[in-house]
Amino acid sequence: MAEFQEISKLSALHPKPAGLVLQYGTSGFRTNAKQLDHIMFRMGLLATVRSKKTKATIGVMVTASHNPEEDNGVKLVDPMGEMVTQDWEEHATQLANADQEDLLTALKNIIEKEAINMSQEANVFVGKDTRSSSASLSQAVLDGVSALGGHSKDYGLVTTPQLHYMVCCQNTQGKYGEATVEGYYTKFCQELLLSFSPPCHLKKELQISLNNDGSKGRLNHQCGADYVKVQQKPPTGIKINPGERCCSFDGDADRIVYYYTDSEGTFHLLDGDKMATLISTFLKELLTQAGLDLKIAVVQTAYANGSSTHYLENTMKVLVRCTKTGVKHLHHVAQEFDVGVYFEANGHGTVLFSKAAEEKIQQLAEDTNVNDERKKAALLLRNTINVINQTVGDAISDMLLIEAILAIKGMTIQQWDTIYTDLPNRQLKVKVADRRVIDTTDAERRAVTPAGLQEAIDNLVKKYRQARSFVRPSGTEDVVRVYAEADTQESADALAHEVSLAVYRLAGGVGDEPKPL
């Protein structure tokens, strides 16, 4: 086929460094930007083939999200704006790691296995973040698409959730919204201000001052949602007055965390767990007021603070489910419920409403025979659906939703913070020679390998009160992540350190031994 000759020629312009093997991780491929040119070209090929298979538009986002500026990465977006399915993650790994001379064979294998009709049209949307490497890497994606004769639309600089939104709009023929950046702002921002304005005067109250807007400094360097969450402190160089409500996004704006400092200068973090609690409480109250019998659940990961799970299950009486890290996992579990609120503690999350739930809410909102209280609740629920980006966690849409809820409830960030008290916790990273030696089970809460590691963790946890700890290999950075919580910060820090040492000793640590905090 003519396309295949073209691929041979063009792929030589995007050669794979010999011996380089990269795994499809938590959210696509991610590593130093210098190693990614061939990956991008090949993901352009894969997205084109996926588009032919699904007869729909596919998205490719060039970003390394929370990683340091010098990294980059790629996220593939499926037709309804969700992350690409797991069997295609395997295709992606095959294609990414094929030696230069085997690339065509690897591609043909996928085409054959998936019974792709190559004469089918293909359409790929491409977006990129602000990293300096993103321009040439997104060009490599576009080259891959055109090598297979696919059509592409380059959205340039967009957030990851914006690209997910575009793909969903395109494939629903505009039902979800208009597939433009303007359409995005109209749907999530303008409608929010209009629909929530009468009851809460949000428009008047919401004054935003922007810091670290990308005009200077390095992306995510001592700032951003991941920095604030993991370091448990505000971004460096930002002046915060006591009680001021602040939030930080990550590098591609699919995560958000809130925070403030009190009059004593103590830092308070309101992470994904606190957002899940506020949102699910708000929705549950509205469902009750509306008299709608819809099943609501909160989906978390092992990183969820024990206090949040306890509060949701025991005080809010909300169903809680735990999955592996990665929004793709949370998203799928959330789809099992009428209303599925999913948030990772790191601030990545959204709310999903089933079709049936949306219809019931819509019917009630239009019903002229219901009392005022039910009607008002139904209208608020409908407006809430309109401002949520259901394709993926979205920092902008999440922020507006939180702002609306706080305004409607007349709640300050301090009041929100006191709904429950987080157990002190600590997250650390350990460098090991090969992080794949750690295998986990039970939604990553227990390590199966290397031998003796889980036993060591269990023994360490026993030393502390209200303690819990787990370790898992990161899917976005070359590190093992360690999480610990306990009744005091000193205990959480000590436990995290001791578990880090166990990882270092039993899982092949490299460099210096972890030091106490």
Of 37, 254, 403, 493, which one interacts with ligand G16 (CB under 6 A)? 254
Of 37, 477, 485, 493, which one interacts with ligand G16 (CB under 6 A)? 477
Provide the mask over 145-164, with x wherever binding to ligand G16 is found by CB under 6 A and - wherever it is not: --------------------
User: Contact at 8 Å (CB) between 344 and 250?
Assistant: no
The verdict on whether residue 250 carries a ligand-binding annotation is yes
From 58, 79, 84, 68, select the one nearest 31 (Cα to Cα). Answer: 68
Helix (H, G, I), strand (E, B) or coil at 299: strand
Euclidean distance between CA atoms 513 and 431, whole angstroms: 9
Applying the rule CB under 6 A, the residues between 26 and 55 that interact with ligand G16 are: 26-27
Q: Does 498 bind ligand G16 (CB under 6 A)?
A: no
Euclidean distance between CA atoms 261 and 254, whole angstroms: 24
Applying the rule CB under 6 A, the residues between 289 and 348 that interact with ligand G16 are: 325-327, 344, 346, 348
The verdict on whether residue 346 carries a ligand-binding annotation is yes
Longest dimension (CA), the chain: 70
Q: Does 397 bind ligand G16 (CB under 6 A)?
A: no
Q: Does 476 bind ligand G16 (CB under 6 A)?
A: yes
Give the number of other Cβ atoms within 10 Å of residue 129's Cβ.
Answer: 24
Of 11, 27, 65, 280, the active-site residue reads 65
Q: Does 220 bind ligand G16 (CB under 6 A)?
A: no
Applying the rule CB under 6 A, the residues between 59 and 88 that interact with ligand G16 are: 65-66
Nearer to ligand G16, 27 or 308 (CB): 27
Assign 3-state DSSP to the chain and report helix, strand, coil percentages, each to 5: 45, 20, 35
**Smallest gap from residue 259 Cβ to ligand G16 (A):** 18
Nearer to ligand G16, 196 or 249 (CB): 249
Q: Where are the alpha helices (DSSP H) in 251-326?
A: 272-290, 306-310
Span between the terminal Cα atoms of the chain, in Å: 60
The verdict on whether residue 472 carries a ligand-binding annotation is yes
Name the CA dihedral angle for 375, 377, 378, 382, rounded to a multiple of 10 degrees: 140
Helix (H, G, I), strand (E, B) or coil at 87: helix
Provide the mask over 191-210, with x wherever binding to ligand G16 is found by CB under 6 A and - wherever it is not: --------------------
**Smallest gap from residue 473 Cβ to ligand G16 (A):** 8
Euclidean distance between CA atoms 480 and 212, whole angstroms: 29
The verdict on whether residue 129 carries a ligand-binding annotation is no
Strands (DSSP E) found in 354-457? 425-430, 439-441, 446-449
The verdict on whether residue 293 carries a ligand-binding annotation is no
Of 52, 91, 481, 497, which one interacts with ligand G16 (CB under 6 A)? 481
**Smallest gap from residue 194 Cβ to ligand G16 (A):** 30
Euclidean distance between CA atoms 279 and 308, whole angstroms: 13
Of 37, 82, 129, 250, which one interacts with ligand G16 (CB under 6 A)? 250
Catalytic residue status for 65: yes
Q: Do the bridges between strand 480-485 and strand 468-473 make them parallel or antiparallel, or are there none, so unpaired?
A: antiparallel
Q: Where are the alpha helices (DSSP H) in 98-208?
A: 103-113, 134-147, 160-171, 181-185, 191-200, 202-205
Quote the radius of gyration of the chain (alpha carbons, Å): 23
Nearer to ligand G16, 289 or 474 (CB): 474
The verdict on whether residue 198 carries a ligand-binding annotation is no
The verdict on whether residue 481 carries a ligand-binding annotation is yes
Q: Where is the binding site, in residues? A: 65, 250, 252, 254, 344-346, 472-476, 481
Residues annotated catalytic, as ranges: 65
Residues that bind ligand G16 (CB under 6 A): 26-27, 65-66, 250, 254-255, 325-327, 344, 346, 348, 474-477, 481
Q: Where is the binding site for Mg(2+), in residues? A: 65, 250, 252, 254
